[in-house]
Amino acid sequence: MIEKLISEIHKKQAPIVVGLDPNMAFIPSFIKKAAIEECGETLEAAAGAVLAFNKAIVDAVYDLVPAVKPQIAMYEQFGIPGLIAYKETIDYCRSRGLFVIADVKRADIGSTSKSYANAHLGKITVGKKSVPVFDADFATVNPYLGTDGVKPFLDVCKDEDKGIFVLVKTSNPSSGEFQDKKIGWNTLYELVGDKVEEWGKDLRHGQYSDVGAVVGATYPEMGAELRERMPHTFILVPGYGAQGGKGADLKGFFDKNGDGAIVNSSRGIIAAYTKPGYEKYGEENFADASRAAVLDMKQDLKNAIA
């Protein structure tokens, strides 16, 4: 799977993921108003607004970027209607030729992690029939439970040609509380990074494996260090833009060929119309603002990698 994503990054010349994290605060009021007029102040209305918003963004950027990353928490918060919108978002993005990275950060003990892996990437058997469920291309995975929690995802990656990104060094301010702790000569995140390399050993396609890592744009020195330390691990980089990561800081996440990483921006793109420099588009043209923000991000990263 990873080689397909890399090929699409090359084709579109954009190592960019658009984070589809549709916080209600980002959704233009005319969309919310229409949804509430149709369904009342209900979860259905919220979910309807989310889906309409997502589709407009996707229509505006699908030819520019290789992938999207819906953050399932933003859909789960609206219960069943929200999760229906999540599934419809995945299907819509795939129909537009985009790779879908399900940002679910799941993991559990082995037998349970298998259910998560089937749910998000694989198939589930009912009677004699095998049915895909949420059917994303990649999923994010939490490493705290160790190999047991990750192994079922590796199996599904192999069987169904999918990929994962394991949390190594997350972008949030308190990520160092445990992740940066020294264990002998290494930090916890370095040990997790070493495991990610190991987990990906049988899933390599060229330089990189289907087992990637999440490393936050907010920690550029650690990103550069992990790039060296995990030579076969593709890096998903959240935290660009709204969380403080800048293009100039990201060079170290990429390898000498300019490969090896894909950078996510959520708010910076989907809520661009509320940000300085894009306000001129106005709420009505929020999707045009998103397109402009993608083009600017593409240039910012191009300058950084060059």
Q: Known catalytic residues?
A: 105
Residue whose C-alpha is closest to residue 269's, from 246, 292, 243, 301: 292
CB of 219 vs a copy of itself, minimal distance in Å? 13
Choose the binding region for a copy of itself from 93-101, 181-189, 221-229, 292-300 (rule: CB under 8 A): 181-189
∠ CA 221-21-115, rounded to 5°: 90
- Let me know if 217 is exposed, middle or buried by CB neighbors in 10 A (0-12, 13-18, 19+): buried
- Contact set for a copy of itself, span 246-305 (CB under 8 A): none
Residue 184 makes contact with a copy of itself by CB under 8 A: yes
Residues 196-235 binding a copy of itself (CB under 8 A) are none
Question: What DSSP assignment string belongs to 186-200?
Answer: EEHHHHHHHHHHHHT
- 3, 55, 161, 176: residue in contact with a copy of itself (rule CB under 8 A): 176
Of 138, 134, 137, 136, residue with least CA distance to 124: 134
What string marks each residue from 29 to 58 as x (binds a copy of itself by CB under 8 A) or -? ---x---x----xxx-xx------------
Residue whose CB is less far from a copy of itself, 124 or 295: 124
SS3 category, 121: coil
Query: Residue 280 in contact with residue 34, Cβ under 8 Å?
Result: no
Cα–Cα distance for residue pair 200/202, rounded to 1 Å: 6
In the bound state with a copy of itself, the residue whose beta carbon lies nearer, of 18 and 119, is 119
Return the number of the residue (3 or 160) whose C-beta is nearest a copy of itself. Answer: 160
First-residue to last-residue Cα distance in the chain: 26
How many residues lie near a copy of itself (CB under 8 A)? 73
In the region spanning residues 134 to 163, those forming contacts with a copy of itself, defined by CB under 8 A, are 134, 142-149
Q: Footprint of a copy of itself on residues 83-112 (CB under 8 A)? A: 83-84, 87, 103, 105-112
Q: Please, which residues bridge with residue 99 across strands? A: 67
**Under rule CB under 8 A, residue 18 binds a copy of itself:** no
In this chain, which stretch among 7-15, 171-179, 223-231, 282-290 interacts with a copy of itself, using CB under 8 A?
171-179
Binder among 8, 59, 115, 288 for a copy of itself (CB under 8 A): 115
β-strand partners of 214: 167, 236
Helix, strand, coil share (%) of the chain residues, nearest 5 = 55, 20, 30
Q: What is the spatial distance between Cα 120 and Cα 214, in angstroms, rounded to a whole number? A: 18
Say if CB 88 and CB 49 are below 8 A apart: no
- Using CB under 8 A, which of the segments 128-136, 277-285, 287-295, 296-304 binds a copy of itself? 128-136
Q: Does 244 bind a copy of itself (CB under 8 A)?
A: no
CA distance 16 to 5: 11
**Least Å distance between CB 272 and a copy of itself?**
17
Q: Which stretch binds a copy of itself (CB under 8 A): 57-65, 93-101, 177-185, 255-263?
A: 177-185
Should residue 76 be labelled a site residue for a copy of itself when binding is judged by CB under 8 A? yes
| Residue found under tokens 């960019």 | 16
Cβ proximity to a copy of itself, 267 vs 291, nearer residue: 267
Check binding of 192 to a copy of itself (CB under 8 A): yes
